């Protein structure tokens, strides 16, 4: 086995300097363009090489998608049965409407500047996977709804979709999702061309982190199969006999109960969450894992907060157990993201 040094790992790693133009982050004396040996950096330092232009393009697309999403949260989203609906129609719904776009705007700006590139690339790639399903659901909601009148919950309002007209907010939302998907594709193409390494301080706990992420991912999908906010059943009493009867009211459709594009989008959304829960903890370096888990956290947390908004903003809806589970799953992803960021253990020496 190769000899190792207690401070910096295998001798062959210490002997190889970073590529020309590489920079070492996390060291007080590191300078841009300095060709310092890896041994001069602490164990948790990040060595960043040249950032390809495609990675910066992915950052620009991600930032623009966030900006478009922020702008699209405030105009009219849909006009359903003569009722104008906005994603940010109340003070409580603003947070739900701007959460994902705001984080995407910040992450896209960081990636466009070439800072910690695989952190941003992982975020863009993981965020794009569920965005494909969300895009299909939005296309169904804005166009195909006119062919099947039904009761649905749109932005916290229970409406009959007998007549649907798209608004500026819907158009901007679809554009934002499309840009997110494009940013994810560019991130995937730029991943192998981007050099970014660290000392492997997360490696000893990756398996535990992956196990937790998979459990949370499966729980998330199970919660998504039922509405996060639903119409409660009514109890009707017969005045002549006093017999009480439970009458089921038509409420919002579950993720996998919708037809056509929405069903396909729901399947893709559920599959993407489980798949990304498996992939994100395996991304290297450590900050790439943080970026992937952050994308899952904002998507699931946004879905959980949407259920809270719908139940709190309507007297006809009540919060369901799956809705509460979805919010807990979002917070669990946040916890996993923090753990991936904070957990740093020295790799084992490998001595027999």
3-class secondary-structure state, position 337: helix
Residue 23: what pLDDT? 55
Kindly report the number of other CB atoms within 10 A of residue 216's CB atom: 25
Dist CA 7 CA 5 (whole Å): 5
d(CA 181, CA 187) in angstroms, rounded, equals: 10
- Across 56-70, 220-234, 238-252, 332-346, which has the greatest mean pLDDT? 56-70
Measured CA to CA, the distance from residue 343 to residue 116 in angstroms comes to 18
How does the average pLDDT of the chain come out, rounded? 81
For residue 53, the model assigns a pLDDT of 94
CA angle 309-106-215, nearest 5°? 55
What pLDDT is recorded for position 346? 58
Q: How far apart are CA 339 and CA 207, in angstroms?
A: 13
Tokens representing 77 are 């989203």
Is pLDDT of 57 > 60? yes
d(CA 224, CA 216): 12
Q: Which residues contact 199 (CB under 8 A, 6 or more apart)?
A: 9, 41, 42, 43, 44, 45, 347
Distance CA 195, CA 287 (A): 13
Write the pLDDT tens digit of every residue in 63-120: 999 999 999 999 988 887 777 888 877 777 888 889 999 999 999 999 999 989 999 9
Residues in the chain: 352
Give the model confidence (pLDDT) of 9-43 as tens digits: 443 444 344 454 455 555 444 444 444 443 444 55
Name, in order, each residue with C-beta under 8 angstroms of 207's C-beta and a sequence gap of 6 or more.
Answer: none
The residues pairing with 80 across neighbouring beta strands, listed in sequence order, are 83, 164
For 263-303, write each residue's pLDDT tens digit: 899 999 999 999 999 999 999 899 999 999 999 999 999 99
Q: What are phi and psi of 26, to 5 degrees?
A: 100, 5
The pLDDT assigned to 102 comes to 95
* Residue listed under structure tokens 């229970």: 158
CA angle (219 as vertex; 86, 331 as ends), nearest 5? 60
| Tokens 């590139």 belong to residue | 117
What pLDDT shows up at residue 29? 41
Please choose, from the candidates 138, 330, 305, 319, the residue with its C-alpha nearest in 3D space to the C-alpha of residue 219.
330
- pLDDT recorded at residue 120: 95
Say what percent of the chain tops pLDDT 90.
Answer: 45
Mind listing the pLDDT tens digit for each residue in 175-222? 999 999 999 999 999 999 998 888 888 888 899 999 999 999 999 999
Question: What tokens were used for 109?
Answer: 């700006």
């Amino acid at each position: 086995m190769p000899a190792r040094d207690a401070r910096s790992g295998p001798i062959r790693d210490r002997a190889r300097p970073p590529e020309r133009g590489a920079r070492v982050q996390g060291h007080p004396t590191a300078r841009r363009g300095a060709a310092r040996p890896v041994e001069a950096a602490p164990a948790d330092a990040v060595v960043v090489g040249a950032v390809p232009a495609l990675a910066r393009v992915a950052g620009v697309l991600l930032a623009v998608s966030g900006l478009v999403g922020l702008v699209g949260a405030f105009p009219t989203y849909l006009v359903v049965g003569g009722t104008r609906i906005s994603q940010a129609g109340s003070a409580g719904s603003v947070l739900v409407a701007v959460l994902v776009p705001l984080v995407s705007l910040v992450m896209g700006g960081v990636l466009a500047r070439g800072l910690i590139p695989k952190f941003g690339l992982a975020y863009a790639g993981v965020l794009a996977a569920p965005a494909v399903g969300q895009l299909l659901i939005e296309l169904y909601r804005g166009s195909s709804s006119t062919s099947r009148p039904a009761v649905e919950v749109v932005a916290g309002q229970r409406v009959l979709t007998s007549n649907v007209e798209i608004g500026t907010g819907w158009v901007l939302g679809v554009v934002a999702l499309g840009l997110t998907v494009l940013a994810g594709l560019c991130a995937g193409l730029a991943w192998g061309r981007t050099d970014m390494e660290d000392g492997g301080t997360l490696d000893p706990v990756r398996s535990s982190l992956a196990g937790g992420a998979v459990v949370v991912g499966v729980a998330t999908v199970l919660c998504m199969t039922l509405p996060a906010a639903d119409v409660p059943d009514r109890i009707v009493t017969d005045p002549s006999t006093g017999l009480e009867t439970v009458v089921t009211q038509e409420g919002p459709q579950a993720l996998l109960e919708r037809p056509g594009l929405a069903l396909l989008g729901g399947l893709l959304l559920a599959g993407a969450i489980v798949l990304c829960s498996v992939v994100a903890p395996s991304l290297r370096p450590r900050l790439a894992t943080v970026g992937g888990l952050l994308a899952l956290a904002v998507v699931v947390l946004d879905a959980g907060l949407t259920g809270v908004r719908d139940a709190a903003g309507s007297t006809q809806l009540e919060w369901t157990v799956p809705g509460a589970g979805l919010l807990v799953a979002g917070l669990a992803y946040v916890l996993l993201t923090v753990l991936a960021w904070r957990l740093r253990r020295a790799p084992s020496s490998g001595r027999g």
